[in-house]
Amino acid sequence: MVWRIAIPPSLVIADFGCGDARLSRLLPNVVHSFDVVGLTEDVTVCDMAHTPLPSDSVDVAVFCLSLMGTNLVDYIMEANRVLKQDGILKIAEVESRFDNIDNFINHLQKFGFTKLHKDISHDLFCFMDFKKKSVPGKKNKLPVINLRPCFYKKR
């Protein structure tokens, strides 16, 4: 994933669902690493729907294989909350989890994001970049976002 992030070192990043916080070790940027389990001391343990970051405080929000919860709407709303105006939302996910990627993109636009880039040229993964353009309306007026579960083949 790190090669997909071409951002200046001065930008602040929030890594939602960071796992072992690898991104924070690979980039020179300030990276706030969040996960439900603290695999390393660099990880802030929290629900990704409620991070301790102030509003409008980060330049880039990253979801790399981390849209796994049942409350994806809350995750996307939290990313919007912590992103500065014109901040970048980066999503990398397994392509087979989407029923329809274009519908997913359209839903994200209702959360205040504009699509900048979509790359589905890889065998397994889809990479998307969005820009924050506005704050979403009331939660009950926003579309539900569901992704298929990940299934792993036993080898």
pLDDT digits over 98-139, tens only? 999 999 999 999 999 999 999 998 888 999 999 999 999 888
Say yes or no to pLDDT of 11 above 90.
yes
Say yes or no to pLDDT of 9 above 60.
yes
Say yes or no to pLDDT of 3 above 60.
no
Distances (CA, A) of 91 to 5, 40, 133, 138, 153: 11, 23, 17, 23, 24
> What is the pLDDT at residue 2?
46
Q: Please answer whether residues 75 and 63 qualify as being in contact, where contact means their C-beta atoms are separated by less than 8 angstroms.
A: yes
Say yes or no to pLDDT of 5 above 90.
no
58 pairs with which residues across the strands?
83
Say yes or no to pLDDT of 150 above 90.
no
Kindly list the domain boundaries of the chain, sorted by start residue.
Answer: 11-141
Domain 11-141: top CATH class: alpha beta
Characterize the bridge pairing of strands 13-16 and 31-35: parallel
